[in-house]
């Protein structure tokens, strides 16, 4: 593996070694050189789109990581990160020369190009999923990947326009937010600006020019403010350095876009950072600065006492400036400043589970562990990637449990999101919340600083509407999994009833089917268990009559099947995971009904007098004899066609009559209108036919109503 004595070392590698020599021992720097020669041989003859030898890219990635002070294993893995994917170099050779850890890091960064996917999106999603699992084992995987992406973005100009746009969009959607989530603000900022420049080159150029113009005009004012701040801190004996902060092109553009502000409105603020030596000096500096310029009410944030989810710590305050514009100030220690710029990579010494990590590393591992738990529940890589995007919010809300524990949730999180962050079981059985000791519904949006307590009930369980109330990936995945489980249970139970009725028509019972016959049928149909067959029947993918005939042939009974009147399948309305109600006729308890098996949708319940009943009867094998059970639960939609006088206040009168009958209105639409009358179509919820009659009678008694009837009649 050693390089030949005549081998020359390029300048970029010499520069890398020089930087590494500042903090790594000589033997490790020598190992990095050996890794370079290994990578150069593996990539021999390969070039980048720009025409440069390919090895220049991994060396540049290693140089970016060396700027962060990363360890030798990370630097070596960076130099070799594309060898497994793009060259014949075997993993065993990497492991033999540089150790199992380096081989694991390289494998973690490698894409899944050898696996065939339906499309580019699926490949990217599965590649990201694999990378996340590698991140969970070793955080350095994502640092290599981010450095790889950063260098690719710096050299994006040689790519085709379509590729530039695709890579830029992926960078803005995934990699820049991940850098932010890991507290690596320097990486995040450059990735965003490079992505913005590639995606919208004209907008980028215009904003860069305007920022330069604004800074030129304000140089004198900013100098005076900076001098005043520095002088005040000296007078207070607070050792510090003060520097002005400039908005980046992307942050300027995104703020204009998100808040619908003009460029001048976004830039009408002076930004400064004050860096001190110790934490207590942050608060001393804050008091001194507030005595110099008056603070704006409710614009102070203490991220030192309550750090952001990515470990970021700083004091933020906004002041009334002397030149008519607000002054935004961040106050932090040198250590906090390093952590804010480098995040998990700050003061990097790779930690084992027995050694304490820095705050950013600890929080990053907690976040990654949460993502790993999420991906384990998601069958679809694309769906998982979408959930990760949702979870990569730039802002968080900070909430307290009644015992004082702090929870960091995504912006716009609800009480239901919070419940799932406390524990999955708490979320699954949540019924309400107490926010600052006041009762609140689960869909309530939460604000930083609130104390939240979740009220649970053993009988409570998720429903599909909950998916509309949550914003976090954790809550969404937990709800979806619970609903899938409930749907499967409902499907098995309903499928059992349907097969029982079909077998009764054949003169046998399920218990009478020989076990060998049942096992053979399940094996032929590729089902592992009877439960899977029953669920498939309920979901409309297999006809119960056909299954019953096949099973009855092997049953121990004499003679031909006895033709007998089929008993109806009774429903309670609680089987909504696999049972739906026809939108064409809106059946309610008390109506005579039948079921129609629709493949994939399961059983759709219709009224006997449904306008489409004749069409459904053309496929009798899909018809299910059904009736309502004695105990029926839930609300049922029904439509009312109401003809009223055409005058003001009519809608309120009808709505009041419906509300008095304890019915909810889901939708109202005007169907027809002339000079004297209007025809309104109301969609309401009722318990059963009796409740429907009560509603109609109350509406009929209103003086403005000419006619009311159920639709369709």
According to the model, what pLDDT value does residue 112 have?
40
Domain 202-345 has CATH 3.40.50.300: no
Alpha-carbon distance 153 to 176, whole Å? 11
pLDDT tens-digit profile of 532-542?
Answer: 899 888 877 88
Q: How many CB atoms lie within 10 A of CB 261?
A: 14
- Long-range CB pairs of 38-47 (<8 Å, 24+ gap) are 38/1, 38/79, 38/80, 38/83, 38/89, 38/93, 38/94, 38/97, 39/79, 39/80, 39/83, 42/80, 42/83, 42/87, 42/88, 42/89, 43/82, 43/83, 43/86, 43/87, 46/86, 46/87
Round the average pLDDT of the chain to a whole number and report it: 84
This model's pTM is above 0.85? no
Share of the chain above pLDDT 70, in %: 86
According to the model, what pLDDT value does residue 393 have?
46
Task: Determine which of 110-124, 173-187, 685-699 has the lowest per-residue pLDDT on average.
Answer: 110-124
Task: Determine which of 63-72, 320-329, 384-393 has the lowest per-residue pLDDT on average.
Answer: 384-393
Which CATH code for domain 11-199?
1.10.3210.10
According to the model, what pLDDT value does residue 600 have?
58
The one catalytic residue in 12, 71, 85, 500 is: 85
- Is position 337 annotated as part of the catalytic site? no
pLDDT tens-digit profile of 122-167?
Answer: 666 666 666 666 666 777 888 898 999 999 999 998 888 888 998 9
* Pair 275, 233: CB distance under 8 Å: no
Q: Boundaries of CATH 3.10.20.30 in the chain?
A: 395-471
The one catalytic residue in 86, 341, 500, 693 is: 86
Give residue 467's pLDDT band: very low, low, confident or very high (50, 70, 90): confident
According to the model, what pLDDT value does residue 357 have?
55
Q: For the residues 179-190, what does the mean pLDDT come to? A: 86
Q: For the residues 582-598, what does the mean pLDDT come to? A: 91
Could you give the strand order of the β-sheet that contains 315-319, starting from the edge strand earlier in sequence? 240-245, 270-276, 327-333, 315-319, 301-302
- Name the burial class of residue 86, with classes exposed (0-12), middle (13-18) and buried (19+) by CB atoms within 10 angstroms of its CB: middle
The 3-state DSSP class for residue 305 equals coil
Residue 381: pLDDT over 70: no
Q: Boundaries of CATH 3.30.70.260 in the chain?
A: 636-711
According to the model, what pLDDT value does residue 30 have?
94
Task: Determine which of 351-355, 623-627, 677-681 has the lowest per-residue pLDDT on average.
Answer: 351-355
Residue 584: pLDDT over 60: yes
Per-position DSSP letters for 195-234, written without gaps between them: HHHHH-HHHHHHHHHHHHHHHHHHHHHHHHHHHHHHHHHH
pLDDT tens-digit profile of 215-224?
Answer: 877 888 889 9
According to the model, what pLDDT value does residue 114 have?
40
Share of the chain above pLDDT 90, in %: 38
According to the model, what pLDDT value does residue 559 have?
45
Q: Boundaries of CATH 3.30.460.10 in the chain?
A: 202-345
Listed ranges 60-69, 112-121, 319-328; the one with the highest mean pLDDT? 60-69
pLDDT tens-digit profile of 489-520?
Answer: 888 888 888 898 888 888 888 888 888 889 88
Q: For the residues 346-355, what does the mean pLDDT come to? A: 49
Q: Boundaries of CATH 1.10.3210.10 in the chain?
A: 11-199
Higher-scoring residue by pLDDT: 557, 453: 453
Residue 111: pLDDT over 70: no
Report CA dihedral (139, 144, 147, 152) to the nearest 10 degrees.
-140
According to the model, what pLDDT value does residue 135 have?
65
HSE, side-chain direction, 13 A CA sphere, residue 222:
19
Which CATH code for domain 395-471?
3.10.20.30
Which CATH code for domain 636-711?
3.30.70.260
Separation in Å, CA 136 to CA 103, 214, 360, 365: 16, 44, 15, 7
- Is position 85 annotated as part of the catalytic site? yes
Alpha-carbon distance 496 to 218, whole Å? 77
Give residue 324's pLDDT band: very low, low, confident or very high (50, 70, 90): confident
């Amino acid at each position: 593996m050693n390089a030949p004595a005549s081998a020359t070392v390029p300048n970029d590698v010499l520069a890398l070694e020089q930087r590494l020599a500042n903090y790594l021992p000589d033997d490790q720097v020598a190992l990095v050189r050996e890794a370079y020669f290994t990578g150069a041989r593996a990539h021999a003859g390969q070039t980048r789109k720009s025409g440069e030898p390919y090895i220049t890219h991994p060396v540049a990635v290693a140089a970016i990581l060396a700027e962060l002070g990363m360890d030798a294993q990370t630097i070596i893995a960076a130099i070799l990160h594309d060898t497994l994917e793009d060259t014949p170099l075997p993993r065993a050779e990497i492991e033999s020369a540089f150790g199992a850890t380096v081989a694991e890091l390289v494998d973690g960064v490698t894409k899944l190009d050898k696996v065939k996917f339906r499309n580019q999106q699926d490949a990217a999603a599965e590649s990201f999923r694999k990378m996340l699992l590698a991140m969970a084992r070793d955080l350095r995987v994502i640092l290599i990947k981010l450095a790889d992406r950063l260098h690719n973005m710096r050299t994006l100009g040689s790519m085709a326009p379509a590729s530039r746009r695709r890579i830029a969009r992926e960078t803005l959607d995934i990699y820049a937010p991940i850098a932010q989530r890991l507290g690596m603000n320097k990486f995040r900022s450059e990735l965003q600006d490079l992505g913005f420049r590639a995606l919208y080159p004209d907008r980028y150029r215009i904003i860069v020019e305007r920022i330069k113009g604004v800074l030129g005009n304000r140089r004198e004012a900013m100098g005076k403010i900076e001098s005043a701040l520095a002088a005040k801190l000296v007078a207070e004996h607070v050792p510090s350095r003060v520097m002005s902060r400039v908005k980046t092109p992307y942050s300027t553009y995104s703020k204009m876009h998100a808040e619908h502000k003009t460029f001048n409105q976004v830039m009408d603020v002076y930004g400064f950072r004050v860096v001190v030596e110790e934490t207590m000096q942050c608060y001393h500096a804050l008091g001194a600065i507030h005595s110099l310029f008056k603070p704006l009410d409710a614009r102070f944030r203490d991220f030192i006492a309550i750090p952001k989810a990515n470990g970021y710590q700083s004091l933020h305050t906004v002041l009334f400036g002397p030149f008519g514009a607000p002054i935004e100030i961040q106050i932090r220690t040198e250590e906090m400043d390093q952590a804010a710029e480098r995040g998990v990579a700050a003061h990097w010494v790779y930690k084992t589970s027995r050694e304490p990590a820095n705050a950013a590393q600890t929080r990053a591992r907690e976040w990654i562990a949460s993502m790993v738990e999420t991906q384990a529940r998601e069958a679809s890589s694309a769906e998982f990637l979408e959930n990760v995007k949702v979870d990569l919010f730039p802002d968080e809300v900070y909430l307290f449990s009644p015992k004082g524990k702090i929870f960091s949730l995504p912006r716009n999180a609800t009480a239901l999101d919070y419940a799932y962050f406390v524990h999955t079981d708490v979320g699954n059985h949540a019924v309400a919340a107490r926010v600052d000791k006041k009762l609140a519904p689960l869909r309530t949006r939460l604000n930083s600083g609130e104390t939240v307590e979740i009220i649970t009930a053993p009988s409570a369980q998720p429903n599909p509407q909950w998916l509309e109330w949550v914003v976090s990936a954790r809550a969404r995945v937990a709800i979806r999994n619970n609903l899938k489980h409930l749907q499967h249970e409902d499907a098995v139970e309903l499928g059992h009833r349907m097969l029982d009725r079909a077998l009764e028509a054949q003169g046998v019972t399920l218990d009478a089917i020989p076990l060998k016959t049942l096992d053979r049928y399940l094996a032929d149909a590729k089902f592992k268990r009877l439960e899977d067959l029953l669920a498939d029947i309920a979901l409309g993918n297999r006809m119960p009559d056909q299954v019953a005939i096949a099973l009855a042939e092997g049953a121990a009974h004499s003679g031909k099947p006895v033709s007998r009147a089929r008993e109806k399948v009774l429903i309670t309305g609680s089987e909504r995971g696999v049972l739906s109600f026809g939108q064409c006729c809106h059946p309610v308890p008390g109506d005579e009904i039948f079921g129609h098996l629709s493949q994939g949708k399961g059983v759709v319940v219709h009224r006997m007098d449904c306008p489409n009943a004749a069409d459904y009867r053309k496929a009798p094998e899909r018809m299910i004899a059904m009736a309502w059970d004695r105990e029926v639960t839930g609300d049922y939609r029904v439509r009312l066609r109401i003809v009223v006088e055409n005058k003001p206040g009519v809608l309120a009168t009808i709505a009041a009559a419906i509300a008095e009958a304890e019915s909810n209105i889901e939708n109202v639409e005007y169907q027809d209108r002339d000079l004297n009358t209007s025809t309104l179509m109301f969609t309401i919820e009722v318990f059963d036919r009796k409740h429907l009659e009560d509603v109609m009678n109350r509406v009929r008694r209103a003086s403005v109503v000419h006619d009311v009837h159920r639709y369709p009649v």
